[in-house]
Structure 1
Amino acid sequence: MSGRRCTVASLLARLHIARVLRARGAGRGRSAGSLLPDSVLVALRREGMDPVVGQGREHGAEPVTKVAGWFGVTIWLVTGREEVKAVLGGPDAFSSDFSRLVEGAGVDAGRHPGGLGFSDPPEHTRLRRLLTPEFTGRRLGRLAPVIDEIIEARLDAMADEPGPVDLVRSFALPVPALTICELLGVPHASRPEFQELSVAHFDASDGPDGLLGATSAAMAQLTEWVRQQRAFPGDGLLGMLVREHGDEVEDRELAGLADGVLTGGLETTASTLALGSLVLLRNSALCRLVRDGEIPVDGLVEELLRHLSVVQVAFPRFARRDVVVSGVRIAKGDVVLCSLSAANRAGPPGPGTTEFDPTRRATPHLAFGHGIHRCVGAELARMQLRAAFSALVRRFPAARLAIEPDEIDFRELSIVYGVRSLPVFLS
């Protein structure tokens, strides 16, 4: 899943942050994250697998709700399926340009994260056109054997581990990490560091400065690597972009694209793998049906993507002009947050959308977003998930949780929902 999933808490906290801190007299020791309204953070909260927003408990049944008026900025939360599609599919009315947030806020322009997720046409169109050829089915086909090798190697390593195995550390995280690194051509020695930087992008618990710091650190590392690729282009994605489009893109733009591919494709797929494995571990009958082919893995993956919606909130949109969504007037300059997790539970596909049903007839979902910013790496994510779940239930049919369900450590206030660890017995 490429195209960085915007760290909403980070962006909103940086909005007018200098003015906010001056107004409140906050000193150096005060976290800017403490200034975020709880009505905004609620979009990142869940009860187990289920999103809180859109369930009729926090904001009623209204699909478009004003959640905060924050130092002169009105913030709207959109939870309805069709309403989310209208916002994400309306680049003429809603902007994704990061500079609209930092204008006049005293934020260093050098901290602009760049990449597809924070740009509008025509800049977005130009950058996406560079990446799209590498994410076609034909091009991705060459990665299929590599993905299978990565999965089998991880399963072998898990089988050799004594005692319970942490499915996150040993399987869910390494599979997409190694796949994305193969795609990019990341040197083996650099892969652990890039993996750590990617995970830090999505944890809002330490406030916005920690999030933007992680972004800056990753961009610095990738920019240096891009410079190396300029001199000696490798066989990965960046090497290809340098060879074919070297004069068309600057180093920071290439670094932004690589960062979007790495962070967007790693943590999102890892979290879906971990939570999807948890769904299977809780239902031995479902495991057997998937293993025996009675429930096609394609259908399982699509329902997991819809039901889990690990990317909880799409990157913010900023109203370019006054616009009406579902009868609600959103003023020019307002910030709009779209809850993908709530929208995917809102339906269609129809009655019972809050329930997990792998036999459900496949229908379009919003797990990869919608519109021009829809995840360019969606098919790569699907390839990994299909191969990983199939191999896992085949190799370890008797796998079971090594802890009680109420002991599972779900991540809080994270743009990409998941678990910190998942201890399992393999037999």
Structure 2
Amino acid sequence: MTDNSLTEESRAANPTATRGVLPANLVERAGCPFDPPSGLRERRGRGAVQPLPLANGAAAWLVTGFEEARTVLADPRFSADKVRHREAMSLRPHEVADLAAGKAPRAPAVESRQDGLFVFMDPPEHTRIRRLLTGQFTVRRMRALDKRVTEIAVEHIEAMRAAGTEADLVPAFALPLPSLVICELLGVDYADRAEFQERTAVSLNSAAPPEARAEAGAALHAFMRRFVADKRARPADDLLSGLIHDADPPLTDAQLVDIATVLLGAGHETTANMLGLGAFALLEHPGQLGALRDDPGLIDDAVEELLRYLSIIQLGVSRVTTEPVTVGGVDLPAGATVVIATPEVNRDERHWGDPDRFDVRRPRASHLAFGHGIHQCLGQQLARVEMRIGLRELITRLPGLRLAVPAGQVPLRDEMLIFGVHSLPVTWSWSRSAAPEPASRQGRR
């Protein structure tokens, strides 16, 4: 198998292409936009590990329990490698029929992975790339984040204030804040962000025609190839330049393109939607918003509660068993596909009291918004910094912040793999004294 064909097979693991085989009520949020999909709520009480029939005729397993999900994510017998281990959602009907007849699906002839999609890898390939990335998320870079994120947040809020007392919080604030930060970390020219964001949005839109998604994916890949070539020729003090010039043995261009695509997409898509949906949740819970205004020291607890309460991954990650294993009292055969229902896992009443209540004063407990085990989100501390500072500055600098439209008119991202809001029209009270202190002073705290 060539490097190119392997890369294409890896991209076939994109969950956008397989969402259609999942029951719609497990991935579409009707009713309250902050609650898990109705199909997950209806499954409560049926066990922490449940059968999951799929539209292609195959069967999978759905994990809704917190401890069971942690077990799956930490156990090496559950593989994340979508190249070596086909998951049930990717099977075509004739392959499902072959399985029913006792025929094993064709196994890919892969001796070693040559792509860079580390989120779909097992050790040792995953270990090498993860170690390289961890080395680039240096203490020096992370220490500089608070000041820079504060500067970016204040700059965008002041631009909103200068334009009046109304704005759409998504394009004016929630999207550019993490986008600027991840672009600076990776060394992407911020002027190119619009092209990247447009291509990414189409490729992650499960409602878009397959041809449109494929075209967007190809354009995104070409964009990243140009980006990697530029960094090879003109290295700088950024994360991608470090990966290019510090790795031993060197990473290939194909690997670097995949790694950069994952980091840039994850670095802006998830946090942008957490900021938008998190602000929406606070505005719809005025008592919780008031508690934050009265006691800004609650902001770290509020961020953790929002991460738990909202769980913006539409369903969750999947794994394939490499041998028979028992989880939650359920015996799973080798080759079984297991899907983690993250929104429901983070509402497990065995782990949290009154889990459907949003409470910024809730005592902290571990959640799975960032996953668990060797694939736990590499950028989780970056996301926490951006949420903490972004929400703090919004609450502090925009007095009387509130929705400018009825909550039912806020458009939701139901068709996307990452849940959130497409826009969030807000308004606030004009105040000459709304800026409490310069960003430079806040950044030195």
- The TM-score, its normalising length taken from structure 1, stands at 0.85
User: 2:4 maps to which residue?
Assistant: none
Query: What amino acid is the match of 1:312?
Result: Q
Conserved 8 A contact 1:135-1:379: no
Conserved 8 A contact 1:44-1:414: no
User: 1:166 maps to which residue?
Assistant: 168
Aligned partner of residue 346 in structure 1, secondary structure = coil
Q: Which has the larger radius of gyration?
A: 2
Say if 1:406 and 1:125 are closer, same or farther in 2 by CA, change over 3 A: same
Q: 2:343 aligns with which of 324, 336, 341?
A: 341
Conserved 8 A contact 1:165-1:426: no
Say if 1:98 and 1:217 are closer, same or farther in 2 by CA, change over 3 A: farther
Q: 1:57 aligns with which of 42, 45, 49?
A: 42
Query: What amino acid is the match of 1:91?
Result: P
Conserved 8 A contact 1:7-1:315: no
> Counterparts in 2 of 1:160-309, with a 5 A limit?
160-162=162-164, 164-206=166-208, 210-245=212-247, 247-293=249-295, 296-309=298-311
* 1:96 positional shift: 3.0
Mapped partners of 2:297, 2:246: distance in 1: 43
Mapped partners of 1:219, 1:373: distance in 2: 23
Mapped partners of 2:425, 2:204: distance in 1: 22
* 1:105 positional shift: 9.8
User: 1:44 maps to which residue?
Assistant: 27
Percent identity over paired residues: 36
Say if 1:113 and 1:65 are closer, same or farther in 2 by CA, change over 3 A: farther
* 1:195 positional shift: 2.0
Q: 2:410 aligns with which of 389, 408, 421?
A: 408
User: 1:388 maps to which residue?
Assistant: 390
User: 1:369 maps to which residue?
Assistant: 371
Aligned partner of residue 266 in structure 1, secondary structure = helix
Conserved 8 A contact 1:274-1:422: yes
Query: What amino acid is the match of 2:220?
Result: A
Say if 1:208 and 1:295 are closer, same or farther in 2 by CA, change over 3 A: farther
User: 1:109 maps to which residue?
Assistant: none
Query: What amino acid is the match of 1:121?
Result: P
Mapped partners of 1:307, 1:137: distance in 2: 30
Aligned partner of residue 236 in structure 2, secondary structure = coil
C-alpha RMSD of the superposition: 2.5
Say if 1:214 and 1:373 are closer, same or farther in 2 by CA, change over 3 A: farther
Say if 1:9 and 1:399 are closer, same or farther in 2 by CA, change over 3 A: same
> Counterparts in 2 of 1:147-166, with a 5 A limit?
147-162=149-164, 164-166=166-168
Structure 1 unaligned residues grouped into runs of 5+: 14-35, 107-111
* 1:209 positional shift: 5.2
Query: What amino acid is the match of 2:256?
Result: L
Please give the per-residue CA displacement for 1:389-409, whole angstroms capped at 9, x wherever unaligned.
Answer: 110000002111111111121
Mapped partners of 1:291, 1:113: distance in 2: 47
Mapped partners of 2:330, 2:211: distance in 1: 33
Q: Does 1:90 align with 2:82?
A: no
Query: What amino acid is the match of 1:80?
Result: G
- The TM-score, its normalising length taken from structure 2, stands at 0.82
User: 2:60 maps to which residue?
Assistant: 75
Instruction: Give the number of the structure with larger relative contact order, counting CA–CA contacts within 8 Å between residues 6 or more apart.
Output: 1
Mapped partners of 2:248, 2:214: distance in 1: 28
Aligned partner of residue 290 in structure 2, secondary structure = helix
Query: What amino acid is the match of 1:37?
Result: V
Between the two proteins, the alignment pairs up a number of residues equal to 394
Conserved 8 A contact 1:59-1:65: no
Say if 1:99 and 1:209 are closer, same or farther in 2 by CA, change over 3 A: farther
Say if 1:65 and 1:91 are closer, same or farther in 2 by CA, change over 3 A: same
User: 1:18 maps to which residue?
Assistant: none
* 1:314 positional shift: 3.0
Mapped partners of 2:361, 2:136: distance in 1: 32
Mapped partners of 2:159, 2:367: distance in 1: 34
* 1:44 positional shift: 1.6
* 1:179 positional shift: 0.7
Q: Does 1:8 align with 2:18?
A: no
Query: What amino acid is the match of 1:411?
Result: R
Aligned partner of residue 50 in structure 1, secondary structure = coil
Say if 1:354 and 1:241 are closer, same or farther in 2 by CA, change over 3 A: same
Mapped partners of 2:64, 2:282: distance in 1: 27
Query: What amino acid is the match of 2:322?
Result: R
User: 1:318 maps to which residue?
Assistant: 320
* 1:158 positional shift: 1.0
Q: 1:424 aligns with which of 420, 426, 436?
A: 426
User: 1:66 maps to which residue?
Assistant: 51
Conserved 8 A contact 2:36-2:344: yes
Mapped partners of 1:405, 1:71: distance in 2: 36
User: 1:327 maps to which residue?
Assistant: 329
* 1:286 positional shift: 2.9
* 1:320 positional shift: 1.2
Aligned partner of residue 67 in structure 1, secondary structure = strand
* 1:361 positional shift: 0.8
Mapped partners of 1:328, 1:313: distance in 2: 21
User: 1:119 maps to which residue?
Assistant: 121
Aligned partner of residue 306 in structure 1, secondary structure = helix
Mapped partners of 2:47, 2:351: distance in 1: 19
